[in-house]
């Protein structure tokens, strides 16, 4: 069975951050990496816009008064979960932003 040996050059400071941590390996092509990045960006943009719009709609419904109670209630039920999902996704983006991408050598050698 072939072995894959991965060497990650890093500073002493970066190496210290690895103590007690696990490593996650995912083999991706350049196209897949670009697609992941684009999807993350588009998802963040959508979640941010949705959260902003829910807040705006909530403020509008609240200023219109009692005639919009169902709308106000529904928007209110979505605002907090929207904020939480946006925060969780931003945390995920920050976490994944720490990834090290390592390519094979220029002569086509295996990852080392």
Q: Are 52 and 75 in contact (CB under 8 A)?
A: no
Q: What are 10-45's pLDDT values in tens digits?
A: 899 989 988 999 988 888 888 998 999 999 999 999
- Is the residue at 62 inside a domain? yes
Per-residue pLDDT at 111: 47
Residue 55's domain comprises 33-93
Q: Is residue 108 part of a domain?
A: no
Q: Which two tokens stand for residue 38?
A: 């684009």
Q: Note whether residue 38 is domain-resident.
A: yes
Residue 63 lies in a domain: yes
- pLDDT greater than 70 at residue 110: no
- Provide the terminal-to-terminal Cα distance of the chain, rounded to the nearest Å: 16
Could you give the number of structural domains in the chain?
Answer: 1
> What pLDDT is attached to residue 106?
53
- Tell me whether residue 64 is in a domain: yes
Q: How far apart are CA 68 and CA 92, in angstroms?
A: 36
* Global pTM value: 0.71
> Residue 27: inside a domain, yes or no?
no
Question: Residue 67 carries which DSSP code?
Answer: G
Asked if residues 44 and 89 have their Cβ atoms less than 8 Å apart, the reply is yes
Question: Is 72 within a domain?
Answer: yes
């Amino acid at each position: 069975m072939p072995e894959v040996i991965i060497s990650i050059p890093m500073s002493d400071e970066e190496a210290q951050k690895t103590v007690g941590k696990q490593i996650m390996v995912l083999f991706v092509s350049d196209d897949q990496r670009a697609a992941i990045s684009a999807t993350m960006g588009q998802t963040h943009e959508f979640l941010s816009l949705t959260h902003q719009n829910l807040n705006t709609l909530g403020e509008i419904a609240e200023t219109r008064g009692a005639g919009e109670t169902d709308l106000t209630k529904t928007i209110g039920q979505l605002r907090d979960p929207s904020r939480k999902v946006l925060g969780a996704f931003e945390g995920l983006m920050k976490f994944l932003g720490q990834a090290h991408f390592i390519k094979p050598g220029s002569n086509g050698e295996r990852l080392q």
